[in-house]
Copies of this chain bind each other. A is one copy, B any other.
Amino acid sequence: MSEDDDAPTESSLFEAPPLSEQERMVEAVLFASAEPVGVADLNARLPHGCDAARALEMLRRRYEGRGVRVVRVGEAWAIRTAPDLGFLMQRETVEMRKLSRAAVETLAIIAYHQPVTRAEIEEIRGVSVSRGTIDQLLELEWIRFGRRRMTPGRPVTYVVTQGFLDHFGLESARDLPGLKELRAAGLLDSRPPPGVSEDGEEAEDEGQSDMFEDES
């Protein structure tokens, strides 16, 4: 408050505590207070004759470069964590979870048939695809929106992303093995599904590459 060194002591009946002591007091009050404390409030709480503003300034300088700082919050003062140490105040736990079966299937269909609409995914899976499944894949950044299909209703299509390719270690979605290769690798029952001829499968494969051509 006063810039004059002698004024507070002179005007007081009792001698004010030394400035270093005032600084200790300000430190303790700022530490224990639930709210930032204003200078006037500090002066009211400190013994008569104290100069809270000066003590605060000393304290502020003392904490420069420390793990916590004396900062101004509006008209008041508070002790806060140094901004560069904010990372210590959070603890991150990473939890690995296996993608649900519905999500894996949806993702597979998008990868093999992109660009593909939701209606097409549902037709292939034979069950409806929940909004949440698509959202989850979008959030994982494994799929994104492709061009709208030029059919009635102009439905959105989904395609896989670079992130998808990185995660699954693929150069391009075309590197995904076809049904024949899956079968050769023993990932598929050797019997062809009823009603699907080998020829039909070939055609499908071709159709698939067509789609990828569209994308490129």
- Residues of A participating in the B interface, judged by any CB pair closer than 8 Å: 23-29, 31-34, 45-46, 65-68, 79, 81-82, 85, 88-89, 91-92
Contacts and interface: CB of A to CB of B under 8 A. Distances in A.
B34 A88 contact: no
A82 B45 contact: no
A185 to B, nearest CB: 38
B31 A81 contact: yes
Contact of A85 (B24, B85, B89): B24
B79 A28 contact: no
Contact of A67 (B26, B66, B82): B26
B81 A28 contact: yes
5 contacts: A27-B68, A28-B81, A28-B89, A45-B88, A46-B88
Nearest to A35: B91
Nearest to A65: B24
A27 B79 CA distance: 12
B31 A88 contact: no
A67 to B, nearest CB: 3
A92 B66 CA distance: 26
B45 A85 contact: no
A24 to B, nearest CB: 4
